[in-house]
Amino acid sequence: MPKEVMFDEETALQKAKELFWRKGYNGTSMDELTKAMGLSRSSIYNTFGDKQSLFIQSLNHYKKSQHDKLMQSLVKYDSPLKKLQAIFRVSIDELIKDTDRKGCLIVNTTTELANLENNISVFAKGNLEDHEKFLQDLVKKGQQSGEINKSIPSLALARHLFNSLIGLKVMAQTTGDKKTLDDIAKVSLSVLQN
């Protein structure tokens, strides 16, 4: 009879995510994962699969937690423009709080592995498409209500905003200067104004 697994998968996944975030995929060994998660290799393999499967699950866990936090912070805004402005504000606030300057796990992963690992490339492309669609929906609503510039197609604006958000996350790793990040956000958002 197989042994019953007696650990909290969510907590174990959180610990794996933190280690991958700090060290990157290639910089993280299975020995480090077993130590950080407090699990044997067999428990990790039986529950999460191989290292790459665990990594993809960690990325999905990160994506969901970031999305949930963002949605919670946007619930108080009715205006699409205010929501877009809040996305930048929330992102900057979170980046400034990151005193270790780890940046964004997904951005870090994309630059480390997207051209090397097909599963990571598929994840990164899906993440890009999800963000573009979310931003485009907000831009379209803002254009329909007249608060966002209609002269630029909504998809082009969404791509610009997403690229700016990625740039903020990379910039925050090199400088923790809030004024620099605020300047980037201000200019990035200025294209939305009529």
Identify whether the C-beta of residue 58 lies closer than 8 Å to the C-beta of residue 37. no
Mean pLDDT of 156-176: 94
Render pLDDT for 113-136 as a digit per residue (tens, 0 to 9). Answer: 767 778 888 898 899 999 999 999
Domain membership of residue 167 as a residue range = 76-194
Q: How many domains does the chain have?
A: 2
Same domain for 92 and 65? no
Same domain for 192 and 101? yes
pTM above 0.85, yes or no: yes
Same domain for 177 and 118? yes
- Is the predicted pLDDT of residue 5 greater than 60, yes or no? no
Same domain for 32 and 98? no
Band of residue 7 on the pLDDT scale cut at 50, 70, 90: confident
Q: Distance of alpha carbon 89 from its chain centroid, rounded?
A: 15
CATH number where 16 lies: 1.10.10.60
CA distance 18 to 38: 14
User: Any alpha helices (H) in 41-117, and if so which ranges?
Assistant: 41-48, 51-74, 80-97, 105-113
Band of residue 1 on the pLDDT scale cut at 50, 70, 90: very low
Same domain for 168 and 183? yes
> Which of 75, 90, 119 is the C-terminal boundary of a domain?
75
Render pLDDT for 143-159 as a digit per residue (tens, 0 to 9). Answer: 999 999 999 999 999 99
Same domain for 143 and 83? yes
Same domain for 185 and 89? yes
CATH number where 110 lies: 1.10.357.10
Same domain for 191 and 95? yes
pLDDT of residue 3: 53
Share of the chain above pLDDT 70, in %: 97
pLDDT of residue 118: 81
Same domain for 80 and 70? no
Instruction: Quote the mean pLDDT of the chain.
Output: 92
